[in-house]
Amino acid sequence: MSSLKTSRWFQPLRQLAATLLTEHLDPRHAAAAVFWGVFIANVPIYGLQTVAIIGLAALLKLNKPLAVAATFVNNPFLQPFLVVSAFDLGHFILTGRFVRFPFTGHLSDLKPQLGGWLMGSVAWLIGSVVMGVLLGAVGAGAAFLLFRMRSARRTPRRERAKFVNSLFTGSSSFDRGFVRWKLRLDRIFDILSTEELGSGPVVDLGCGYGIALGFAAFRDRERRLIGCDLDARRIAAASKAFGGMNAEVAVGDVRNFEFPQAGLIVIFDVLQYLTGPEQLALLQRCSSALAPGGKLMFRVPDRGPGVLSRLSVAFDRLIFLLTGAQTKPVVLSAEEYRANLEKAGLQVAQRRFRNRLPLAHLLFIAVKP
């Protein structure tokens, strides 16, 4: 009960932190946040700098953590150099000459050269403002380039992953964590993000949490999503996550689960739980259900030569043992899968890829002409 109460308190705080850290991080706003942070750091309003930059960031709709972080340019290590440079720059602006700072350690020795404390204070204020503008401009330029490069590197997979993670915001911490790490470790989602996923209904046989369904719905939030899995807990989490979308997920066996004509059918890490004839029968049924131009994607463990393939076999057997499966994994040869799909009139491509765990997989992509 206490952990549940803690979760209820922690979740809003986590959402607030996520919002603060990610809002207004496009290159233009990020550059503005850094500029004003560095500028405020140089202005001699010590004790009020943090309050001032938070208020300014809120007023200008800038990223507050980034703006506050930029004020740290005025730290105990750099502050002496910033103050001396501000004095010198301000004095040059007012008099046309720089100050020769003595190294006696007494501020009174500066008085004659600064023309009195009032003159020195004015020079410091002017110099601080100009220094803030100059350093802020340099920092803003660097931030703009950095965040522009960051935006360019934002791959379609990252955008889709962010969307899928957002669907599970209201789920339990375990479910959110599983989805997040699945997206990070499984390279099948890299492939899905670069594949043309077509249009029309999407069917995921053995959908688990429905992550692949979320990827397929990224461009079209109204797309019909259909999935089944034997794990009732994961189906419950998927139902909650996709509650506001056109999704139908249910507990069911892929061998007799009914689904309509579809533009995309995916089967990941399921076929090896079926016998050979059951696998081929399911693939034939999927081939018949594809709409013209539709695509069937499925993967099985790679049974080819190599250490990673052997590791994948061992990992699969371990999963079967831990889940209480009464049989061993069944994986047909690539030729059998290809012949079955081509017999159904599909155009077949296959590729080997390695996951980040690392595990070796064989992916089939079959298209109905």
Give the tens place of pLDDT for each residue, 262-287.
Answer: 999 999 989 999 999 999 999 999 99
- Copy the structure tokens of residue 5: 């109460």
> Do residues 263 and 359 share a domain?
yes
**How far from 347 is each of 76, 191, 241, 287, 367, CA to CA, in Å?**
67, 18, 34, 11, 5
Task: State the pLDDT at residue 158.
Answer: 82
Q: What is the mean pLDDT of the chain?
A: 84
- Copy the structure tokens of residue 115: 């023309």
Q: Is pLDDT of 3 > 50?
A: no
> Do residues 21 and 42 share a domain?
yes
> Do residues 41 and 121 share a domain?
yes
Q: How confident is the model over 6-17, as pLDDT tens digits?
A: 445 555 555 555
Q: Which stretches of the chain are DSSP H helices?
A: 2-22, 27-42, 49-60, 64-70, 79-95, 111-114, 117-153, 156-167, 173-185, 188-194, 211-216, 232-241, 276-289, 307-322, 334-343
Task: State the pLDDT at residue 282.
Answer: 97
Least confident stretch, 12-16, 189-193, 212-216, 224-228: 12-16
Task: State the pLDDT at residue 26.
Answer: 79
Q: Which residue has the higher pLDDT, 20 or 251?
A: 251
> Do residues 304 and 212 share a domain?
yes
> Do residues 323 and 196 share a domain?
yes
> Do residues 262 and 130 share a domain?
no
> Do residues 306 and 356 share a domain?
yes
Task: State the pLDDT at residue 257.
Answer: 96
Number of separate domains in the chain: 2
Q: How confident is the model over 347-358, as pLDDT tens digits?
A: 999 998 887 776
> Do residues 293 and 267 share a domain?
yes
Percentage above 70 pLDDT, the chain:
85
Q: Per-residue confidence at 105, pLDDT binned at 50, 70, 90? A: very low
Write the DSSP assignment of 119-135 as a string of letters: HHHHHHHHHHHHHHHHH
Q: What is the mean pLDDT of residues 94-108?
A: 60
Q: Is pLDDT of 164 > 90?
A: yes
**Those residues with Cβ within 8 angstroms of residue 175's Cβ, 6 or more apart along the chain or in another chain:** 168, 209, 234, 237
Domain end, chosen from 153, 183, 203, is at: 153
Q: Which of 314, 297, 316 is nearest to 362 (CA)?
A: 297
> Do residues 287 and 326 share a domain?
yes
> Do residues 197 and 320 share a domain?
yes
Task: State the pLDDT at residue 279.
Answer: 96
CATH number for the domain that contains residue 316: 3.40.50.150
Domain enclosing residue 280, as ranges = 157-367
> Do residues 136 and 180 share a domain?
no
Domain end, chosen from 136, 153, 170, is at: 153
Q: Which of 69, 83, 74 is nearest to 143 (CA)?
A: 69
> Do residues 76 and 219 share a domain?
no
Among 63-67, 304-308, 315-319, the range with the most confident prediction by mean pLDDT is 63-67
Domain end, chosen from 153, 186, 217, is at: 153
Q: Per-residue confidence at 2, pLDDT binned at 50, 70, 90? A: very low
